[in-house]
Amino acid sequence: MTSDPRPTPLTPLADWIGAVSALPPSPGGGAAAAIAASFAAALAQMVAALTHGKERYAASHERVRSVLGRAPQLRDELLLLAVRDSEAVERFLGARGEARVEALREAARVQLDLLKGAAAAADLAVTMADVGASSALGDAATATFLAAAAARSAFWAMRSDLDAASAEAASMLSLGLELVEKAEAAEWRARQILNERIG
């Protein structure tokens, strides 16, 4: 990072990439996954904007408007999660003893929030792969693949952060598994759509 060592949602992408590649390891994988999921939401928004108002896609306009209504906020929420993940990693690196255990719990909560956002982005993206402008099918599919990858990353990071014996671990893991399966189902549907339309 050239000017501020702490990335924010307004930090240029090149500086985020530089920060991820440098030591100490914050931001790391969680932040990278959150940024990828934010890109997924942005791509879904772009495809929806291309599709919106075109007579050819009139039957899909309600679903397209729904994507346009949700994607901008989701995109911003996911960028904020990149920052939250970076902060969680910094707290963990600086913690000792019981504070280190609590820092891991907080990191797991951030990953669960990221998983929720990534699954939502996958849903928006596969919706646009299904009903969006045919000229932007590749963009919608890319969005779905990015979101599913971010969801997988968040799920496994959450699992590694959680103490399996903790009271909240079981419910978090159950919800996490449901969300990652939802994102992977969207990814599978996007692949089916590509196979059907491209061959």
Q: Which pLDDT score is estimated for 165? A: 61
Kindly indicate the confidence band of residue 168, based on its pLDDT and cuts at 50, 70 and 90: confident
Q: What domain range includes position 123?
A: 26-198
The total number of structural domains that make up the chain: 1
| DSSP state string for the chain | --S-SS--TTS-HHHHHHHHHSSS--S-HHHHHHHHHHHHHHHHHHHHHHHTT-GGGGGGHHHHHHHHHHHHHHHHHHHHHHHHHHHHHHHHHH--THHHHHHHHHHHHHHHHHHHHHHHHHHHHHHHHHHS-GGGHHHHHHHHHHHHHHHHHHHHHHHHHS-TTSTTHHHHHHHHHHHHHHHHHHHHHHHHHHHHHH-
**For the whole model, what pTM was predicted?**
0.93
Q: Which pLDDT score is estimated for 1? A: 40
Examine residue 8 and state whether it is found in any structural domain, yes or no.
no
Examine residue 11 and state whether it is found in any structural domain, yes or no.
no
How do residues 50-76 score in pLDDT, each as one tens digit? 999 899 999 999 999 999 999 999 999
- The CATH number linked to 49 is 1.20.120.680
Instruction: Give me the mean pLDDT over the 13-39 stretch.
Output: 92
How do residues 69-80 score in pLDDT, each as one tens digit? 999 999 999 999
